[in-house]
Structure 1
């Protein structure tokens, strides 16, 4: 299978999970501004949404949207640690964090990367980041190592990637010590290290 990525973007979460599962794969970098892949393909012909990630399966089908890809990878590999069995409360908790990360924290960061954002817009975005980060901070306040409990899941991979953008946009992760420790913890996982190295980020 092939994962279309932009180094350091949200596609990194899917890249991490591929390494967590030990699945054979290749990656191809996408210029999301020009909508071209590194090999010169029209990315819009692969993913009409024009964003990463996209996963081309061995049969040729293309799956998009990070949370869908993350769950598909874990489910298809039969890994109930990364994604608990469907229909259980444990799975719903993973989906809860995935959805919150996508619609809350990830969305809050978007203005920070937009050239069109003025300082007032970025200031409002920092406030939004803080509100969203506070909820994740509270989840970790009972001493759990990961966002849904004792076990690392696909939700942790996604939240790690987004929270790790903080230094790039001038947000001090130290405001949320539990999240700061969480990011450091996930960064040390062998699969995370492999994905970061593969994307040239460390």
Structure 2
């Protein structure tokens, strides 16, 4: 498998999932600013949408969306318990979390990265994001990870998205459960390896 990623982008989530899975894969940098691979290839020729992540299977089939990619990875190694079994209530809870992270947090942060976003609108976005972070913090008050005491692919996604708070100067200190949770996830060897591979930590 090949994972196309941009350092620190949402593609860190499947990068973490792959490291957790133990599956063989190749990580290929596809920077979102240049859309050019290290060998000069135009990334748009591989993924016409131009964004990451992109997972290319050994037979050439592609998956483009992060939540779909991480669940596919998890299902290849059921013994790792990176996702609950399909058809269970717990799997539906995983879908719930992946959708919440994607639509309420991920997309909540997105306008803040755009220099063209008006300051007044950014203020509104930050306020709404604060509400969502407070809600997340509350849900983490009685558990180690988002689904309970077992790490899942949703944790890699939540960790990735909340990483963006620092460069955007959003203080996470008021969310003590989230801060403690992030420390637990950051200490996982697979997370360390993925972040090192992307040059995010030494």
Q: TM-score range by the shorter chain?
A: over 0.9
SS at match of 2:74: helix
Match of 2:68 in 1: 68
* 1:79-158 paired onto structure 2 within 5 Å: 79=79, 81-141=81-141, 143-158=142-157
For residues 46 and 38 of structure 2, the distance between their equivalents in structure 1, rounded to whole angstroms, comes to: 13
Per mean C-alpha deviation after superposition, the further-off stretch among 18-27 and 64-73 is 18-27
The aligned residue for residue 3 of structure 1 is 3
**Who is 2:187 aligned against?**
188
TM-score by length of 1: 0.95
Q: Deviations over 1:79-98 (max 9, x none)?
A: 46211101101111111000
Q: Which runs of 4+ in 1 moved over 4 A?
A: none
Alpha-carbon distance between aligned partners in 2 of 1:79 and 1:35, rounded to the nearest angstrom: 36
CA contact (8 A) 1:46 1:62 kept: no
Between the aligned partners of 1:31 and 1:59, the Cα distance in structure 2 is: 24
Q: Which residue number in structure 1 is paired with residue 162 of structure 2? A: 163
Alignment of 1:201 with 2:168, yes or no, is no
Secondary structure, counterpart of 2:173 in structure 1: helix
Alignment gaps of 5+ in structure 1: none
CA–CA distance in 2 between the matches of 1:191 and 1:80?
13
The Cα offsets for residues 94-147 of structure 1, whole Å up to 9 and x where unpaired, read as 110000000110000001111212321221221121121122112112x20011
SS at match of 2:107: helix
The whole-number CA distance in structure 1 between the counterparts of 2:115 and 2:139 is 33
* 1:78 Cα deviation from its structure 2 partner: 2.4
Alpha-carbon offset, residue 38 of structure 1: 2.3
Report the TM-score, using the length of structure 2 for normalisation: 0.95
Q: CA deviation at 1:77?
A: 2.1
Q: Distance in 1 between matches of 2:150 and 2:198?
A: 26
Contact kept? 1:31, 1:38, Cα under 8 Å: no
